[in-house]
Amino acid sequence: MRARVAVLTILISLLAAAAAHAQALPGAKPEQVGLAPERLARISATLRADVEKGVIPGAVLLVARHGKVAMFEAIGVRDPESKAPMTRDAIFRIYSMSKPITSVAAMILFEEGKLTLDQLDEALDVMRMTHP
């Protein structure tokens, strides 16, 4: 559960930062940029489920590929107390930049074929054992 929250937090942080630049990018259907709409829908469904369970109050999801935005949506609320809805232009405070930078580095290595999901899973297992 902790790992899932950490991954979602990283994802939200990265996507929130990317959202600031999304207005300049043209939109496209997921299949036009080589993405599977049903797989993107699973990401959205996971975030919605976490909002409903109270794991996170809300999120901004932005997926872009080849300079085109394939998915951009706001989920949940910005402020749980006031119930103000999340907006696509919401600004999030990032307390530590090491997680987003490390995540982007891992995604770049994965895209270049220098990091596999098995290697990443092994590294996460080691981290879980050393930091319970």
Name the residues annotated as catalytic.
96
Burial of 10 (0-12, 13-18, 19+ CB in 10 A): middle
Q: Angle of helix 2-22 relative to helix 98-111, nearest 10 degrees?
A: 80
Burial of 42 (0-12, 13-18, 19+ CB in 10 A): exposed
